[in-house]
Chain A
Amino acid sequence: MTRNDVLAAPVTAPPGTRTDRPRRTPATALVTWVRRGGPHHLVFLLPTLVIFGVFSWYPIVRSVVMSFQKTNLAAPPRWVGWHNFVFVLHDPLLGTAVRNTLWFALLALIIGYPVPLVAAVVMSEVRRAKGLYSALAYLPVVVPPVVSVLLWRVFYDASPTGVFNTILGWVGLGPFPWLQDQTWAMPSLVLAATWSGAGGTVIIYLAALLSVPPELYDAAEVDGAGIWRKVWHVTMPQLRGVLFITLILQIIATAQVFLEPYLFTGGGPANATVTVLLLIYRYAFQNSLGGNYGAATALSLMLAVVLALFSLLYFRLTKSWSQ
């Protein structure tokens, strides 16, 4: 058989392939969809679609639209092009807010990042009442954030009779101004945020520590490694993946810090704790006569782009590790 013969030969398609079936019309497609349980799928999907639609997608689309408008939500909105973005980029407070947010993120890395790791490693070494320690570590996460802030505000009372100042006074330290000073305010916020947020990460680390094969520790012990060498040469390398993921998640979370500066200091003293998110809030709501919603959504959008890049990095990394 020549090459041409092969091409000319009638093609016998195997049964069940496309050419066998009658032509699909929209009606038959619908019938097939219904027969195969399509409506059921849709019903099951519906709650998710509605919830995401109402609480995520619709607000996202609205914010994008609003970032190009001037509106007070009462009168009809007016299209203003890139004006809102230009306004935000020219605001002298934007630089302060970005610097403060980065400062918060850095302090959170220095103060907040190692705390849960150390706590988890120590807790995993404890032989008795492990559950009790886990519960204690997680307890602050259960406390409603507003309650924890109010609690810490009492602790941070800057008078010599304040809780922290009294305790530190016993060892001859202080009194410290805590939230009432431009230099001290941000570290104070980070300390409180670490207390209330560390518990969740401790649990993640504890779970990761359980997955470290015990043979590795046994082998290290046989080789004469002490506790610190075991931690450094066995535990840390095994936790590398989790550590990196929590790092990225922490950066994403700290870039969006709002609750602490809003409730502790309202951005003060003298704008020392104004963060990007607090600035967005101020654009939208500081003026009782209806805020600059356009500027607020424009800055939100810019922040979202930056955070999306971090999220992308996170997805890439988790994907490559899970393979």
Chain B
Amino acid sequence: MKSTYRAAAFGLAGAMALSLTACSSGGNASTGASSDGKVTLSVVSLLPGSEQAAIDAFNAQVKQFEAANPNITIKPVEYEWQAPTFAAQLAGGTLPDVFEIPFTDAKTLIANGQLANMDKQFHTLPYAGKFNPAILDSGKGSDGKVYAIPAKNVYGVGLHYNRKLFESAGLDPDKPPTTWDQVAQDAKKIADANPGVAGYMQMSQNGTGGWQLTVQTYARGGRIQEVSKDGKATSTLDDPATVEALQWLQKMRWNDNSLGSNYLLDWGTMNQAFASGKVAMYTSGSDVYTSMIQSNGLDPAIYGLAALPLEGSDAGVLTGGTLAAVPAGVSTAVKNAAIKWIDFFYTGKLVDKDRAVADAQTLVKDKQPVGTPVLPMFDKAQYEQNQEWIKQYINVPLDHMKSYTDTMFELPLVGEPSRHTQEIYALMDPVVQAVLTNKNADIEKLLKDANTQAQNLLDQD
């Protein structure tokens, strides 16, 4: 009798294993094309926890798209790109059909076969040839085909500051700091005048610590990685500029006590802290204003954006951006629908007057930001033309962003390090955290250890 049971159990287990294999090969099972030609397309909508007005504006755009494309049904999915959650979603096959990735990740994802080839669909766009080639290249595979399409934004890092807190410390909000020493001095004045507020703070968690430390390194003329002509990459995390950046941070933390009391912040929590007036100054992408309005209830009156102080020869502003991509393995119908959505939601409005105006009208109706400064995805002339089209709808406080917008086209832009970017950023997080939480942190040793580990990663290639 026992053996019969055992046989039955094995049979059952075998059947289950087979059914699991069948399930796991399904991929994005929730969406796709049906036989009647209708396509359901899941797309990135807004950050989780966005304000109702932002959701209303997004839904209005979805309605417009569906009216113009009756065969496509849009399924919005809330989404915030974070290294750990992205990896889990990618592995689990739960990413939407159109998702967003940073410039730095595209090449590897393409090489791994994780992104769909969108070359044919991309070239149906009438403005396909107009993209800035350097930006378009970040989404191309080694075969020269387009897999990921520049979308949403290209940013340069800027210094975001709270005008109200500047005033509270007797500082002129129209004259933001232009050197790192001034940043430190202003931060101290603000922290002294507002107990519990961080005069300045820097991200330190989930890879953002490394990202923003790299910003600091670039701004002082350093680099964290060199790639030679023969393709060999050398890690330079212990660059003197990085040491200087950390010493500057250390002084503000332990001498000036101007960094507040929360030293574990990432992109999302930093935005939250800034919008709620807990942090007076921080560095992040120039376009972060939009998501702080959409998700953090930022009061536009307190917001200011300044150009990043640059010191030393070869200093540069870190630049990055977002690409839209489609997971490998989806049907052609889904890819065709995806390019229509990418055109509608991300890129078309940048080159077409009617669509630019329609988009701005929809956003303004729900009091969503129009005109947040970003770097041009095409060229400067196209960008300025676009700004002209939507001029009457611009509702972001451009006066408060003058320090940034006046110089944004002259800034020396430097791309993010190209090899093992996110892994190396993650290695730098504990270094930043150590400086912020240990008075006796040995900066040079910390950087040396991190550099050894980073070089090990680079040597794997």
For the complex, is A187 an interface residue (Cβ under 8 Å from B)? no
Contact A180 B109 (CB under 8 A): no
For the complex, is B262 an interface residue (Cβ under 8 Å from A)? yes
Contact B422 A288 (CB under 8 A): yes
Interface of A is mostly: loop
Which residue from A265, A266, A269, A282 sits with its C-beta under 8 Å from B434? A269
Count CB-based A-B contacts (< 8 Å): 140
Q: Compute how far the CA of A54 lies from the CA of B23 in the bound complex, rounded to whole angstroms.
A: 11
Contacts of A272 in B (CB 8 A): 437
Contact A284 B437 (CB under 8 A): no
Q: Residue among A180, A182, A265, A289 with the most chain B CB within 10 A?
A: A289
For the complex, is A318 an interface residue (Cβ under 8 Å from B)? no
Q: Compute how far the CA of A293 lies from the CA of B91 in the bound complex, rounded to whole angstroms.
A: 10
Contacts of A58 in B (CB 8 A): 16-17, 20
Contacts A38-B4, A157-B262; A289 near B422 (Cβ below 8 A): yes
Contacts A72-B112, A180-B261, A285-B84; A268 near B433 (Cβ below 8 A): yes
For the complex, is B49 an interface residue (Cβ under 8 Å from A)? no
Contacts of A126 in B (CB 8 A): none
Contact B426 A180 (CB under 8 A): no
Contacts of B301 in A (CB 8 A): none
Contact A269 B263 (CB under 8 A): yes
For the complex, is A181 an interface residue (Cβ under 8 Å from B)? yes
For the complex, is A247 an interface residue (Cβ under 8 Å from B)? no
Contacts of A284 in B (CB 8 A): 87-88, 91
Q: Nearest chain A CB to B11's CB is how many angstroms away?
A: 10
Q: Compute how far the CA of A241 lies from the CA of B12 in the bound complex, rounded to whole angstroms.
A: 40
Interface positions, chain A 125-169, Cβ under 8 Å from B, are 157-162
> How many of chain A's residues have a CB under 8 angstroms from any CB in B?
48
Interface positions, chain A 86-139, Cβ under 8 Å from B, are 92
Return the CB mask of B87-106 against A: 1 if under 8 Å, else 0: 11011000000000100010
Contacts of A92 in B (CB 8 A): 453
Query: Range of interface residues on chain B?
Result: 35 or more
Contact A177 B261 (CB under 8 A): yes
Q: Nearest chain A CB to B419's CB is how many angstroms away?
A: 11
- Output the nearest chain A residue to B329 by Cβ-Cβ distance: A74
Contacts A49-B9, A50-B16; A74 near B433 (Cβ below 8 A): no
Contact A158 B262 (CB under 8 A): yes
Contacts A74-B114, A288-B105; A160 near B13 (Cβ below 8 A): no
Q: Compute how far the CA of A161 lies from the CA of B429 in the bound complex, rounded to whole angstroms.
A: 27
Contact A182 B87 (CB under 8 A): no
Contact A182 B438 (CB under 8 A): yes
Return the CB mask of A63-95 against B: 1 if under 8 Å, else 0: 000000000111100000000000000001000
Contacts of A73 in B (CB 8 A): 90-91
Q: Compute how far the CA of A57 lies from the CA of B264 in the bound complex, rounded to whole angstroms.
A: 38
Contacts of B81 in A (CB 8 A): 288
For the complex, is A200 an interface residue (Cβ under 8 Å from B)? no
3 interchain residue pairs of minimum CB distance: A270-B434, A158-B261, A269-B437
Binding site for B on A (CB under 8 A): 29-30, 32-33, 38, 42, 46, 49-50, 53-54, 57-58, 72-75, 92, 157-162, 175, 177, 179-182, 265-266, 268-272, 281-282, 284-291, 293
9 CB-based A-B contacts, threshold 8 Å:
A29-B4, A266-B206, A268-B430, A270-B441, A285-B91, A288-B83, A288-B84, A288-B105, A289-B87
Binding site for A on B (CB under 8 A): 1, 4-5, 8-9, 12-13, 16-17, 20, 81-88, 90-91, 101, 105, 108-109, 112-114, 195-196, 204-207, 260-264, 266, 328, 422-423, 426, 429-431, 433-434, 436-438, 441, 453
